[in-house]
Structure 1
């Protein structure tokens, strides 16, 4: 492409809700932490080193019997409260502004557990119900 020589109508996405294909043999639950796998499909958060946190899954999608991309799911980047891990991985207010790590599709932890977990996002706040995490590209 060459540089513009006149105005251009450049489309943009509104509302911060995005859609992507779901990995093969995968079920995503509404409200869960959704991630992109190495192939670029949505999967539930899990202990893995190859995931990229996408955001909260907006509605349950069951692609259990389908090929990768046969179904798609809506996800929304943002700040969400997830369950806090336990013991040495418990996140406290002293960890605010640090990265936290994916344990599963609803739990985050303080450490990467010897390089076995992917980053969930930045810790924004910690309360008695869990950890508020800024997740995704928004």
Structure 2
């Protein structure tokens, strides 16, 4: 690609939403933490190498092949359940927390078995508010 030699039309998006392809034979429920696993969207789970994208805006069932459907995902700050055995505390605000499943986060990587969910923003009534997605 070369530098511009004339004006170009720029397409702008909010950058808060995306529509990644869903892994085949996968259901992602509305409100679930969505992660990328080898280029395909799946519900959050305990595993390394996952990339947290955001929260599913609707339930999507992909009963077909990999990428046959897409899931609308929103990035932002959302509430998650706090893992009882590895709980996030107020002292952890501003630090990373880690994915346990599609609705739960933990304080640690569980011995390098969990991927980063995002930054801890706040704790309120037992819920952990996490900034998810870039």
Give the TM bin, normalised by the shorter chain. Answer: over 0.9
C-alpha distance in 1 between matches for 2:67 and 2:126: 34
Taking the TM superposition and a 5 Å limit, the aligned residue runs for 1:109-128 are 109-128=106-125
Residue 22 (structure 2) aligns with: 22
**Cα distance in 1 for residues equivalent to 2:13 and 2:36:** 19
CA–CA distance in structure 2, aligned partners of residues 111 and 12 of structure 1: 37
Secondary structure at the aligned position of 1:69 is classed as coil
TM-score after normalising by structure 2: 0.96
Q: Which runs of 5+ in 1 are unaligned?
A: none
- Counterpart CA distance in 1 for 2:19 and 2:76 is 15
Scaled by the length of structure 1, the TM-score of the pair is: 0.93
Structure 2 runs not aligned, ≥5 long:
none
Provide the secondary structure at the position in 2 that maps to 1:20.
coil
Q: Match for residue 75 of structure 1?
A: 73
Shift, 1:17, TM fit: 2.0
Distance 1:74 1:21 in 2: 9
Q: Are 1:45 and 2:44 counterparts?
A: yes
Give the total of aligned pairs. Answer: 134
- 1:52-99 alpha-carbon deviations (Å, 9 max, x no partner): 000000000011x21110111100000000000113x10011000000
